[in-house]
Structure 1
Amino acid sequence: MLRNLDPLLSPEMLYTLRAMGHGDEIVIADANFPGSSFGPDCIRADGSSASELLSAVLSVMPMDTFVPDPALTMQVVGDPAAIPEAVADFQGIIDAEADNPAQIQGLDRFTFYQRAATAFAIIQTGERRLYGNIILKKGVIA
């Protein structure tokens, strides 16, 4: 254990977050997400929700301020304007806890999958709410 670190951040997660550079992206995915089949390293966090992991990640990782969309979620298939419960929760966490809060932007399902396939890593949570997936772009510490 270490002081001042969320205990949900496993050694593998901390290593991954530290190894990421400015502009690299990380996916926090729900339990239904096909994380292991996409290519980036898939870190399992089955006992945690996506919201819990988002909060933990934001406690140590800055979000990018050089792009208009440092936080991306998957749009509801057939209703892209809908805001799922998980996404509303994510926005509240970003607003309250991110060092540089930003408005979450949505991507259609297959564009989200393509983006996730090029991420630095995927953290697969036990999140059971549908559309509980978010991509974060790492920023810099000034």
Structure 2
Amino acid sequence: MLKGIPSILSPELIKVLMEMGHGDEIVIADGNFPAASHARRLVPGYGHGVCDFLRAILDLFPLDTYVETPVLLMDPVEGDDKNPPIWKEFEQVAEAASGEKVSLKKLERHEFYERSKGAYAILATSESVPYANIILKKGVL
């Protein structure tokens, strides 16, 4: 155990976060996301939700300030709620961690899937809320 490291962050996840460089992306995926088939590096986070991981990761992980939108969301398909309530929580968590307004951008579902294939890693969670998928672009300290 280490002081100051949230227990939700496994040694494997800490290693992945440390290996990532400026501009690398990590997907925090809900339980419905095809994480195993899309991941270059799959990090298991089963038993926990996306917001729990988002809080813990953003305590350590700088968001990229050199891009317009360092946080990407999966845009719901026609007929689904166009503003899932969990997105407000994502925004609040990101802004609390960075201390400023954070821009979030929606990507069409298939575009999000394609983008995730190029991510440094995908963190697979047990989140049951639909459209609780988020991509974070790493910044610099």
**TM-score of the aligned structures, taking structure 1 as reference length:** 0.94
1:16 corresponding residue in structure 2:
16
The one-letter amino acid paired with 1:127 is E
The one-letter amino acid paired with 1:37 is S
Equivalent residues of 1:80, 1:108 under 8 A apart: no
The alpha-carbon deviation at position 87 of structure 1 amounts to 1.4
2:49 corresponding residue in structure 1:
49
Unaligned runs of 5+ in 2: none
2:71 corresponding residue in structure 1:
71
Structure 2 CA distance for aligned equivalents of residues 81 and 128 of structure 1: 15
Equivalent residues of 1:75, 1:81 under 8 A apart: no
Unaligned runs of 5+ in 1: none
SS in 2 for 1:116: helix
1:6 corresponding residue in structure 2:
6
Equivalent residues of 2:76, 2:108 under 8 A apart: yes
Change (3 A) 1:140 1:80: farther
SS in 1 for 2:106: strand
The one-letter amino acid paired with 1:63 is L
Change (3 A) 1:86 1:3: same
Q: Indicate yes or no: 2:34 matched with 1:34.
A: yes
The one-letter amino acid paired with 2:111 is T
2:92 corresponding residue in structure 1:
92
Q: Structure 1 segments of 4 or more deviating over 2 A?
A: 98-101
Structure 2 CA distance for aligned equivalents of residues 11 and 118 of structure 1: 23
Residue by residue, what CA displacement relative to the aligned partner does 1:83-127 show, whole Å, maximum 9, x if unpaired?
102212111111112356412110000010011000000001110
Change (3 A) 1:138 1:85: same
Aligned residues between the structures: 141
**TM-score of the aligned structures, taking structure 2 as reference length:** 0.95
Structure 2 CA distance for aligned equivalents of residues 107 and 81 of structure 1: 15
Change (3 A) 1:70 1:80: farther
Structure 1 CA distance for aligned equivalents of residues 91 and 17 of structure 2: 21
